[in-house]
């Protein structure tokens, strides 16, 4: 294939061009001590990194303290690193604060690549696949119908839907994990998400990340760090409570849930004859539960908010999807298998994933060994940032890259499905990709079948730039939800 033709010479360059012969990576001038820290603290970092790519090319470096970061801004280079050379770049940077929030790197998302990590990811992946096949469809249908009732109850009052989307996405994960779902008003739910959100936003803040680059600062009092540690303790208490309650309720025998399936593995770990590949310690089970709750809630909810925001700007697209749903489904609700008969809806889903990949910079990777990308020598331990947002706006691949144009996925020519990588790729591919894809499809199809979304005032449309932290979110906006007359 053409991919193999490109990859071979590139891959072999790391041997032909050792460090001394490799061209130096381009990048903006660096300040003494700070390096390019100022670039990394810019508002809307994905957009800023994408602008730098227009200047320095689709691969460039930034310095952060003593760390070199390589930013990849095209699907070709991201694919080369994450997919073709996956074993070279499957690492995660270990950091002081990352270790504090992940029980010393014992979760999947922040744990470094190792035999133990690989076994943990495989066990969780298999359990998720089983749950997805057995019950995900009906779990999402239940939540989509519940969401319908919540929206009907608003009676066309202008509302901010972000919390309702968070509850729906969270309920999918908690039902899969513990056979448990919550109402928006539930104190337990508020406590859980309040705490997880605080951890994500505190951990992403400059007050905390400076502690990774400048160890001396760890000796000074830091109220933000103290607060982070308090929230981590609160989080751990909540998760222990949820897991204990589950064990008591079901005697760990409720085979349909993810936790029951994972508990089987952790029980087997007491059995010394069990194969090491199937073991899961209590801490790993605990940290995995947090991975799924964090990874599976804000991402999906943020994507739903973006979809409604774009559709408010482009009512004719909303009408197009509605007409497709009516003509194909004849009034029925869709099954996930109907997606092949609903190409316009799928194109809209893909176009929102392209323009607003909700994990815009994925999660940082590291080089596990000396390697190369695009012919540049990349030494072991270099931090790699896959700028998915940048790749999705690459003018060499996408015509009018900043324009919302779902038709591009139907016509061919305006871009390519292969260059769409909202879930990353390779060994670190989003663990919840298949869960997320079914959610995006069914939630959107249900919502657009039953409702028309209208702006509060015709001239007051949502901001489309958004706010980028770990997750790329729309700024809060209000919308009128009008039931369709069937
Ligand atoms: C990792 C995207 C939903 C669980 C990731 C990564 C991306 C991503 C880009 C990082 C890949 C990398 O490091 O190269 C998304 C998007 C979602 C979504 C766009 C929805 C629209 C979910 C859901 C779950 C989930 C529903 C759980 C059920 C995870 C986990 C990881 C991850 C555990 C860490 C994987 C690892 O480090 O090996 N996701 N995600 N995500 N995601 Fe998702």
Identify the burial level of 306 via C-beta atoms within 10 angstroms of its C-beta, where 0-12 means exposed, 13-18 middle and 19 or more buried. buried
Instruction: Give the closest residue (by CA) to ligand 1 atom 30.
Output: 431
Tell me how crowded residue 211 is: count the other CB atoms within 10 A of its CB.
20
Q: Report the residue among 121, 140, 258, 295 best suited for mutation to probe ligand 1: largest number of ligand atoms under 8 A from its CB.
A: 295
Residues with CB under 6 A from ligand 1: 82, 108-109, 121, 173, 291-292, 295-296, 299-300, 303, 357-359, 362-363, 386, 422-424, 428, 430-432, 435-436
CA angle (414 as vertex; 48, 322 as ends), nearest 5: 100
Distance 433 CA to ligand 1 centre (A): 7
Identify each DSSP E strand in 65-138 by its residue range: 67-72
Distance 430 CA to ligand 1 centre (A): 3
Q: Quick one: tokens of 140?
A: 């999402």
Tell me how crowded residue 122 is: count the other CB atoms within 10 A of its CB.
12
Distance 426 CA to ligand 1 centre (A): 12
Distance 20 CA to ligand 1 centre (A): 37
pTM: 0.92
Element (H, E) at 408: helix 408-411
Which residue positions in the chain have pLDDT lower than 50? 1-15
As a whole number of Å, the CA-based R_g of the chain is 23
305 labelled binding-site residue:
no
pLDDT value of position 276: 52
Element (H, E) at 372: strand 371-373
Q: Quick one: tokens of 403?
A: 């324009």
From 200, 134, 192, select the one nearest 167 (Cα to Cα): 192
Q: Report the residue among 110, 136, 359, 434 best suited for mutation to probe ligand 1: largest number of ligand atoms under 8 A from its CB.
A: 359
Provide ipTM, 2 decimals.
0.99
Query: Which letter, b or e, does each residue of 347-375 get, where b requires 16 or more Cβ atoms within 10 Å of its Cβ?
Result: bbbbbbbbbbbbbbbbbbbbbbebbbbbe
pLDDT value of position 5: 35
pLDDT value of position 6: 35
Angle between helices 433-450 and 315-329 (to 10 degrees): 90
Q: Quick one: tokens of 322?
A: 């509605």
Query: Which residues, 6+ apart, have CB-to-CB distance to 78 below 8 Å?
Result: 72, 386, 387, 388, 391, 421, 425
Distance 480 CA to ligand 1 centre (A): 31
**Measuring CA to CA, how many Å separate 182 from each of 134, 147, 185, 189?**
22, 12, 8, 6
pLDDT value of position 20: 61
Instruction: Give the closest residue (by CA) to ligand 1 atom 10.
Output: 362
Instruction: Give the closest residue (by CA) to ligand 1 atom 1.
Output: 430
**Measuring CA to CA, how many Å separate 92 from each of 89, 281, 372?**
9, 21, 17
Q: Report the residue among 77, 299, 367 best suited for mutation to probe ligand 1: largest number of ligand atoms under 8 A from its CB.
A: 299
| DSSP sequence for 58-70 | SEEEEEETTEEEE
For residue range 312-344, list pLDDT tens digits in order.
999 999 999 999 999 999 989 999 999 999 999
Residue 21 half-sphere exposure toward CB, CA atoms < 13 A: 8
Instruction: Give the closest residue (by CA) to ligand 1 atom 15.
Output: 423
Distance 294 CA to ligand 1 centre (A): 9
Minimum-distance ligand 1 atom for the alpha carbon of 128: 28
pLDDT value of position 37: 86
Instruction: Give the closest residue (by CA) to ligand 1 atom 13.
Output: 363
Tell me how crowded residue 219 is: count the other CB atoms within 10 A of its CB.
7
As a whole number of angstroms, the distance between CA 391 and CA 299 comes to 19
Query: Which residues, 6+ apart, have CB-to-CB distance to 19 below 8 Å?
Result: 370, 377, 379
pLDDT value of position 413: 65
Dihedral of the CA atoms 226, 43, 170, 335 (nearest 10)?
-160
Element (H, E) at 483: strand 479-483
DSSP 3-state assignment of 431? Answer: coil
pLDDT value of position 177: 93
Distance 447 CA to ligand 1 centre (A): 24
Distance 283 CA to ligand 1 centre (A): 20
């Amino acid at each position: 294939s053409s991919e193999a033709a490109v990859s071979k010479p590139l891959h072999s360059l790391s041997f032909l061009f050792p460090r001394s012969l490799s061209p130096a990576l381009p990048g903006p001038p660096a300040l003494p001590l700070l390096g390019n820290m100022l670039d990394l603290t810019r508002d809307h970092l994905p957009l800023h990194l994408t602008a730098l790519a227009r200047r320095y090319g689709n691969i460039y470096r930034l310095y952060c303290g003593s760390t070199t970061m390589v930013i990849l801004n095209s699907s070709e280079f991201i694919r080369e690193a994450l997919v073709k050379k996956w074993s070279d770049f499957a690492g995660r940077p270990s950091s002081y604060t990352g270790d504090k929030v992940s029980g010393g790197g014992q979760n999947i998302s922040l744990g470094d690549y190792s035999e133990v990590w690989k076994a943990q990811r495989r066990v969780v992946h298999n359990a998720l696949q089983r749950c997805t096949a057995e019950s995900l469809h009906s779990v999402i249908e239940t939540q989509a119908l519940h969401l319908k009732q919540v929206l009907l109850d608003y009676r066309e009052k202008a509302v901010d839907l972000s919390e309702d989307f968070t509850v729906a996405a969270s309920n999918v994960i908690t039902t899969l994990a513990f056979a448990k779902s919550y109402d928006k008003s539930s104190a337990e739910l508020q406590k859980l998400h309040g705490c997880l959100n605080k951890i994500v936003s505190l951990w992403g803040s400059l007050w905390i990340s400076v502690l990774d680059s400048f160890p001396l600062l760890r000796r000074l009092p830091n109220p933000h760090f103290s607060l982070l540690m308090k929230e981590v303790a609160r989080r751990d208490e909540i998760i222990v409570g949820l897991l204990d309650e589950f064990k008591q309720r079901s005697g760990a025998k409720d085979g349909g849930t993810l936790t029951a399936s994972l508990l089987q593995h952790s029980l087997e770990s007491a059995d010394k004859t069990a194969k090491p590949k199937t073991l899961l310690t209590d801490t790993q089970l605990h940290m995995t539960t947090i991975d799924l709750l964090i990874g599976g809630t804000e991402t999906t909810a943020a994507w739903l908010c973006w979809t409604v925001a774009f559709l408010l700007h482009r009512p004719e697209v909303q009408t197009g999807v509605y007409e497709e749903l009516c003509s194909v489904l004849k009034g029925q609700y869709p099954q996930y298998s109907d997606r092949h008969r609903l190409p316009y809806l799928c194109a809209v889903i893909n176009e929102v994933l392209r323009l607003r990949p909700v994990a815009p910079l994925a999660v940082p990777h590291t080089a596990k060994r000396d390697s190369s990308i695009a012919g540049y020598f990349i030494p072991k331990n270099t931090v790699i940032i896959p700028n998915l947002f940048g790749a999705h706006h690459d003018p060499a691949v996408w015509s009018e890259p900043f324009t919302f144009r779902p038709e591009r996925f139907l016509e061919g020519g305006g871009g390519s499905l292969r260059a769409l990588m909202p879930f990353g790729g390779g060994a670190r591919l989003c663990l919840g990709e298949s869960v997320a894809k079914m959610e995006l499809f069914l939630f959107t199809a249900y919502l657009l079948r039953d409702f028309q979304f209208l702006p509060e005032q015709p001239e007051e449309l949502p901001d489309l730039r958004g706010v980028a932290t770990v997750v790329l979110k729309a700024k809060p906006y209000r919308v009128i939800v009008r039931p369709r007359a069937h």
